[in-house]
Structures are given as structure tokens and as C-alpha cells.
Amino acid sequence: MEVTYSDPNDQLIADCRKGNRQAQFKLYKLYSKAMYNTALRIVADADEAADVLQEAFIDAFKRLDSFRQESTFGLWMKQIVVNKSLSVIRKRKFEIEPIDNADNIPEEEVYEDNATNFKVEQVKEAINQLADGYRVVLSLYLLEGYDHEEIAHILKISENTSRSQFLRAKRKLLEILAN
């Protein structure tokens, strides 16, 4: 039995499939800000994020017939944006540091510094200062909600490497914020 999800924008999507430009514009307006922010968190460049957004929507509208509604349109669109963003990053040839001894990495580290309060802009700026590999894994895990298994699949790395990159990214982020 095939699972389909009820999307409040089903009629809008149906109209888009028929080539209705107004429906496409409405769908774009509904999702563009969230998708832009997703791209921006991954590529860390406003112009590149805008390019990713444009390419992702063009691709989505071209492939709308392949959208089988097994998820919501937003989730499907987010996958396209993440993949396009990662393509931009790959063109930069970012490096994910492989780990030799993955068993020695603690699952979770706790940082307790109640005196430290950071403003959103400080955190955004610090995330943008991270190396591409760190920023991508941190963004996918913390901000986009992917788990390490999904990140490993997306980036074609091991789950342990994803965990390692995430922990190193957190350490580096805290180091940047402390300075």
C-alpha cells in the first residue's frame, strides 16, 4: 500500500502541474524564505544561496510530475535545496576529515557555561566562520533535523565521521564564540 500525505497545498500543486504561473508564484512565495535560509545555512553565502534557491525551484517545477506526494511538498522541496546546496559546496572541494579511531569519540559532550549568552547574529556569524565540512554537518544535524545516518547517506561518509564532524564543529563553534 502506497502512503500519501495530505498537504494543504494540494490544489496549488495540481495547478502548478498544469503550468499555472500564478500557482507557481504562490508556491514559491510560501516556501522561498524557508528554503533560502536552508541554502544559506549550508553554503554560507547570500548570493550562492539565492542561486541555489532559484535553481531548486526551477528544478522542482520541471520535475513536479515526479512528486508522488509520499511526503509534503515542503519536505520534497527541502531535499532538492539541500542537494543543490551540497553540489555548490562540493564544487568548492570541501574536506570532511576522516577519523581513524571512531570508537573513542564520546557520543555527546555537555558544555555548561551558564554565564555565556550569545545573540543570534553572533551564532550565525560564528557558524559562517566554520570550515565547510564542519558547517555542513552542523547545519544538517542541528538546523535541518537530519540524523547522522541520513547525513552519512547524503554526504557519502560514515555515520562515525558525521558524528565526529559534528562534535568538532561544536567545539570549534564554541571556541569562535568565546573569542
What CATH code is carried by the domain that includes residue 84? 1.10.1740.10
Count of residues making up the chain: 179
Number of domains in the chain: 2
Structural domain harbouring 73: 10-91
Asked if 48 and 86 count as a contact pair (C-beta separation under 8 A), the reply is no
pLDDT in tens, 66-105: 888 788 888 899 999 999 998 998 887 655 555 554 445 4
pLDDT of residue 9: 82
Asked if 20 and 61 count as a contact pair (C-beta separation under 8 A), the reply is no
Quick check: is 73 in a domain?
A: yes
- Helix residue spans in the chain (DSSP H): 10-17, 21-43, 46-62, 73-91, 120-129, 132-138, 148-155, 159-178
pLDDT of residue 154: 85
pLDDT of residue 156: 85
Residue type, 32: S
